[in-house]
Amino acid sequence: MRYFIELQYDGAAYCGWQRQPNEPTVQGTIEERLSMLRRVPTEIVGAGRTDTGVNASFYVAHFDSDVSVDCAQLAYKLNKVLPDDIAILRIYEVEADKHARFDAKQREYTYFLTPEKNPFRRFSAWHYAVDLDVDKMNMAAAKLLEYEDFTSFAKLNSNNKTNICHITYAEWQEQADGTLRFTIRADRFLRNMVRAIVGTLVDVGRGRYTVADFEDIIGSKDLSRSSAGAPACGLFLSDVSY
């Protein structure tokens, strides 16, 4: 039997999602507690990687079990034994061949940028005090939907089989408190891709690049042309759809 876990986590204390030897990771932490509660080694498979310091307001993973699981009770117990920066939203049974990673049709990331220093958002937003032209940032972001090859925003030595992604939405919105929220959706993302895109769009907003320059950067398929990646703290995996 296969079970999906829906969860959230603050990534500040972790070296990303994926299990690593001798490093704190979200996957490793959940597997340790889940195995303890079930009294049998239990591996989980996630919807995808998130890098060191990246958060998830919605994440999906799955595990297999030879015996029936009381989903509500297991979710309750997991929340009791997991650290405060990981929360289980629900656990439910799915078809035996449904896969948290390979069956995901679309993923959504959200990035938060705040112009004001806020000690309560230091792990959930990028403090960036320079004035930005949001209209130009959105004009540039719209160009992302016209391309498929995002080599210019792909981390080197990531062993990607392909750098092709299909972006369906990319837009900045200014919230009432001045926070800028960037939302991007695609069928898949490359390592460091969203942070590299955000960093380059911010450089459009501050006047370092024009919208035409941004389009040239995409078309160049050259990572050295894009800006430094935005800090991990402002990035959230915010949705996974199946």
Question: In what helix (H) or strand (E) does residue 87 lie, and over which residues does it extend?
Answer: strand 86-94
Token pair in block for residue 29 = 């932490």
- Select which of 10, 51, 133, 203 is catalytic: 51
51 included as an active-site residue: yes
Count CB-CB contacts under 10 A for residue 149.
Answer: 13
Question: What single string gives the DSSP state of each residue in 90-157?
Answer: EEEEE-TT--TTTT--EEEEEEEEESS--GGGTTTSEE--S---HHHHHHHHHHGGG--B-GGGSPTT
Domains and CATH numbers, the chain: 2-94 (3.30.70.580), 106-241 (3.30.70.660)
The alpha carbons of the chain give a radius of gyration, in whole angstroms, of 19
pLDDT in tens, the chain (242 residues): 999 999 999 999 999 999 999 999 999 999 999 999 999 999 999 999 999 999 999 999 999 999 999 999 999 999 999 999 999 999 999 999 999 999 999 999 999 999 999 999 999 999 999 999 999 999 999 999 999 999 999 986 666 789 999 999 999 999 999 999 999 999 999 999 999 999 999 999 999 999 999 999 999 999 999 999 999 999 999 999 99
Q: Is the pTM of this model over 0.75?
A: yes
| C-alpha pair distances (Å), 97 with each of 1, 26, 64, 94, 102 | 9, 24, 10, 8, 10
Which pLDDT value is given to residue 155? Answer: 81
